[in-house]
């Protein structure tokens, strides 16, 4: 694996790189490597790993009785009607 030096980085770009690296929990080196890989087609994009947060407000909101009511309905719907499968 080789090394590469980049000259001519102005202070605004250096500040932006440091801020983005910190915001993403990465080192500046890792951030620059990721950007280079992505823009040169060497970055493997992850499929099926997208996180969604549109229903987060519902998490932990049910009372125990609400949970039991919903679970009972789910269990009732999960029953197989043997007569239908004959």
Global pTM?
0.49
Higher confidence at residue 83 or residue 72?
72
User: CB burial class (10 A; 0-12, 13-18, 19+) of residue 26?
Assistant: middle
What would the mean pLDDT of 39-59 be, rounded to a whole number? 81
Residue 19 CB partners (closer than 8 Å, separation 6+):
none
The encoded tokens of residue 5 equal 């030096």
Q: Would 28 be classed as within a structural domain?
A: yes
Res 21: pLDDT: 96
Q: Would 37 be classed as within a structural domain?
A: yes
Q: Would 67 be classed as within a structural domain?
A: no
Structural domain harbouring 13: 8-44
pLDDT-wise least confident of 21-25, 33-37, 59-63: 59-63
- Indicate if the pLDDT at residue 24 is higher than 90: yes
CB atoms < 10 A from the CB of 31, how many? 19
Higher confidence at residue 23 or residue 83?
23
The encoded tokens of residue 27 equal 């080192």
Total tally of structural domains belonging to the chain: 1
High-pLDDT (> 90) share of the chain, %: 50
């Amino acid at each position: 694996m080789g090394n590469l030096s980049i000259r001519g980085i102005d202070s605004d770009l250096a500040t932006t790189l440091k801020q983005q690296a910190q915001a993403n929990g990465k080192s500046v080196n890792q951030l620059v490597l990721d950007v280079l890989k992505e823009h040169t087609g060497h970055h493997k994009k992850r499929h099926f790993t997208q996180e969604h947060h549109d229903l987060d407000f519902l998490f932990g909101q049910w009372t125990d009785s609400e949970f039991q009511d919903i679970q009972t309905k789910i269990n009732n719907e999960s029953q197989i009607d043997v007569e239908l499968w004959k």
